[in-house]
Structures are given as C-alpha cells and as structure tokens.
Structure 1
Amino acid sequence: MSIKLSDLYVIMVTYNTSCQDSLTYKNLKTINGLNLIVCDNSTNVAIKKENEQLSQSDNFKYIDMGGNKGLSKAYNKAIGYIEKSPDKFICLFDDDTSINEEYFNKLLNNLNKNHADIYLPIVLSLERIMSPCLLKKDRCIEVKSLDQLKGTLSGINSGMVINASVYQDYKYNENLFLDYIDHDFMRSMNEKKKKVFVMYDIVIHQNFSMESNDVDSSYKRMMILKHDFKEFYKDNKLMYFYILTMYKYVMIKKYKKLKFLFIKNIKL
C-alpha cells in the first residue's frame, strides 16, 4: 500500500501568533491536499478569532484550547481527532519552521521505502545539530556530527513524524507544559522498542528561542524549564539538579546576570 499526502496529518500548535504571521502556516497552506490541524493555545481573543476564520477559510481543522494549556494537552487534543491506524501518519511542527513541498516529497518517499514507527529529520539551529540527539541515562546529548548517531535516539518535536497507531496506547504527559515533551515521548518509545528511522535527506532549519531571547524572556523560559525538568527527572533527583545547574551556568555566562542562580517556581 502506497502512503499518500492525504494519509498525513500535520499538527501545528500556536500561541498568540496570527496564522498570517506564522512561517509554518504560510508554507503549509501552499501544499495542496494537506490535512492541517491548527491547535491554538492563544490567550489573545482577537488573534484566536482571526486564526479560526483563516483556518476555516483554508479548509483546515481549528481547535481553540481555551487559553494556554501547554503543548502536551494541545497534542493530545489534536490527536483525538485523528484515526489511529497504521496507514496514517502524524507530522508535528512549531509555528516558525520553514517547510516546503520538497519536505513532503522526500517524506513520502521515506515512508514508502522504510518501515518505522517514528521518523526524524535532521534539524539544525545556527551551527548546532538539534535533532536527532542521543539519550543516555535520561540525558539528551547533542552530537557534533551525524556519524555519531549511534545508540538510543531522541529528537525534537518539530519535523518529527509518527505512525498514528503509536497513539493507540500512548498520551503525552500533561504534567509537562512545554519542554522535554519530545524527549519524554522518545524515552517511552524506546522503552516500548519502537523503531526509529533517521531521514538524513531531510534537513530543517529551526530557530531555537534560548539562542535569541533577551534576558527577561530567557528567565521566564527558565522558569518553565525548571518546572518541566522536575517532572521529566522525577525519578532521578540528582540528574534534575545537575541539568538545572548546567542550564543556569549557561545563562549566567551568556547574560552576565546572577539572577539565573535563583529560578522561581512557576504555576502552570
């Protein structure tokens, strides 16, 4: 059986961003026959109304989350509308990813030639290889070159493609709000012995917010990161403190601000 574009469902989660300003949305609406689900975590009423009208006019599914419920809940809500059969596939995208028709042509080629449960593209940010990465004792370790991708793999959400049947017995951890949702998913998939395939012929360039944020935005993001680290490492307190300390050190070095030593708790 040949996998076609109509067998793919693309989930794009947005937050207080107009679809008209979303690079991902503008790219995806040019792809004829694409099944796009816009999951809107926006708190801005005007933006939500605009996104709903635009999505419906473009014949896409629109879901209003009723406020910022986080990424996990948005994914679970969107996946609830998709048939969980082995011949359906789910693509995940941020709302600021550059994507084109060539991506889908190569993706369909990979889906039809290589059987797997999870497909990972190469995702680059500046000079870094963001995805795939290695998962070692719950640590996500970036590789310096693609030939180092040997061992237990993880990857980021954006560009990841999953066989819909995976979700017959899996839901995203809704205690995770924004960060490490993808690594928590991949950790679970590796435990279930799911097959992961790296699509070396697909390269995506992604903006990494921690590289471009200002001091205040980075601090707020660190508050969320601390919350999500605590959940991800709930069975490994030592690793939690180690990883959090390393991130604090990176932020202090970058901004020359000691405020990152004391990351407040955040209620989400």
Structure 2
Amino acid sequence: MRIYAVMVVYNKHLSECPSFCSAKSQSDVQLLVVDNSTDESVQNQEEARQAGAWFLSMNGNKGLSKAYNAAFDMLREKPGDWIVLLDDDTEIPDEYWVKLRTESPDAILLPVVMTANGKMISPAEMKHDIPHLAQSTESITEITGINSGMAIPKRLADTYTYDERLFLDYVDHQFLKDMKRTGEKIRILSVKLYQEFSAEQTDLESALQRLRIQRRDLHAYYGNRSWKARYLVFKRKIRLAFQLKKPEVLWHG
C-alpha cells in the first residue's frame, strides 16, 4: 500500500508540528510538506529533506485550496492508494496509520477529531448546508467533517480541483459536498485524533483577522444564499464578543 501525507504548514517550524513527527516515523508514508509560511525566520526545507519528506514552498500564504491543488498536481502522476491531509497542529496516534493500512481505498475516511477539552469537532452533521457539531458518530445522518486526518482515495485526488475562492474555511465541507454529488462514499475511521482548535482566539487583532477570512470564505461558499453567510458571521461575532469580553467585535465591519 502506498500512502502520501500532505501537511500544510503556516509559520511553524516542522519540529513543532505533531502531525509531521507522526507521519515521518511511518516508513511506508511519503510526506509532502506544503509551506504557506510568511515568517522569513521559518525555514523548513532542510528539516523536511532530512526527514525524507518532499517540500513545496508556496512563497507566502496562498490559502489552503491553492496549497492542496499544488500538492495534488505534484502527486498526480505518481502511483498510490491514499492521500492523507494533515493539519500542522494535530496529534496523530500510531493507531491511525495501523487502521488506515487495513482499509480499502473505496471511500473517503474521516477519523474522529477531538479538541483538548473533549469536544468532537469531526465528523459533524450537515443540516441545511450548515455544519453542526454532533453528539456522537452514531447520531450523524448527513455527514461532513474537517480536513485533519481525512484520508482520500488517490484516484479522487487525481481528478479533483479545489475551489480557490475558498482561502481557509469550508474547503473541507465543499470537497465532501462535491464528493457526495458524484456518489462517493464517506466512512468514519474509528480512531481519535486530538487538535488544537485554531478558531479559539484569545487576541483581538488575530480574532478580527480570522473573522475577515471567515466572512470572505462563507460568502464564496454560499454564493447567492448570502443570508446564510451573514447569519454565520453574526453568530461568530457573538461568540467572539463573549469569549474576548469585547462587545466592539459586534460592530466590526
């Protein structure tokens, strides 16, 4: 079995990325690091080479969709069974790789992704084209999920192009929606990953910058159903205002 792991890194040294450490320890996994970093002090190419990983620099933060498209283009002509998408902040246990090797690449696999405080963030329930957290994997009827740990049969990656209007948010939901439209199966891989959830902001300026990205991505995803984008942005503003104790977030343009 041939497995490729694609990890997009942003302003982190590879040694700080638990998913990098996990993937490089697997002798049958070829790791491809796609570097979206803008911090010039972060130089990952040599560390990737020493670990036997392939390295692709995006020369700045071009967004997640463009990074995935660049990775898929690089892997398109290469033989293989799986492409695994890895976030740079996710703990990947060895059990994940053991179970993946037993799976036939006839469906997209979503592992169970947990936050440090025990909240399940993937897989999730899609209701009226809006993702909702699920209480358990058994309760999900319309499945969606996040990129972290998603295993994609390589035959699908060879023919898929991500929507590059989506910079960061809903890249995963759009991919899974497109796959369901073509009749592809999605299954849950019964192993838990643990992620530092990047949406939990503590700094006001970082939170507002993240909100601006979310707004653009939501409007791109929903298109002429812009009321859904406005509704979700407002919900996120309320959550941020309470989280940061900064009511001025509600008036942020």
| Both proteins in one fold, TM over 0.5 | yes
1:194 to 171, 177, 184: 184
Q: Which residue of 2 aligns with 1:219?
A: 208
Residue 27 (structure 1) shift: 2.3
Instruction: Give structure 1 stretches of 5+ with no counterpart.
Output: none
CA distance in 1, matches of 2:112, 2:123: 6
The equivalences for 1:108-119 within 5 A come to 108-109=101-102, 111-112=103-104, 116-119=106-109
> In 2, distance between residues paired with 1:116 and 1:154?
17
The 1:37/1:73 distance shift into structure 2, 3 A limit, reads same
Candidates 91, 96, 101, aligned match of 1:103: 96
Aligned in 2, Cα 1:105/1:171: closer, same or farther, shift over 3 Å? Answer: same
Aligned residues between the structures: 252
Matched, 1:148 2:139: yes
**CA offsets 1:3-38 (integer angstroms, 9 cap, x no match):** x2xx11000000111112222212222222320000
Report whether the alignment pairs 1:174 with 2:164: yes
In the alignment, is residue 236 of structure 1 matched against residue 225 of structure 2?
yes
> Paired residue for 1:22, among 10, 17, 21?
17
Give yes or no for contact 1:124–1:203 (8 Å, CA) kept in 2: yes
2:45 is paired with a residue whose SS is helix
Q: In the alignment, does 2:32 pair up with 1:37?
A: yes
Is 1:28–1:100's contact at 8 Å kept on the other side of the alignment?
A: no
2:84 aligns to what? 91
Q: Secondary structure at the match of 2:125?
A: strand
- List 4+ stretches of structure 1 deviating above 4 A: 84-87
Structure 2 unpaired stretches of 5+: none
| 1:122-141 matched pairs, under 5 angstroms | 122-125=112-115, 126-141=117-132
Quick one: structure 1 residues 248 and 46, their matched pair in 2 at CA, closer, same or farther if it must change by over 3 Å?
closer
Q: Tell me the TM-score normalized by structure 1.
A: 0.88
Q: Give the TM-score of the pair, scaled to structure 2.
A: 0.93
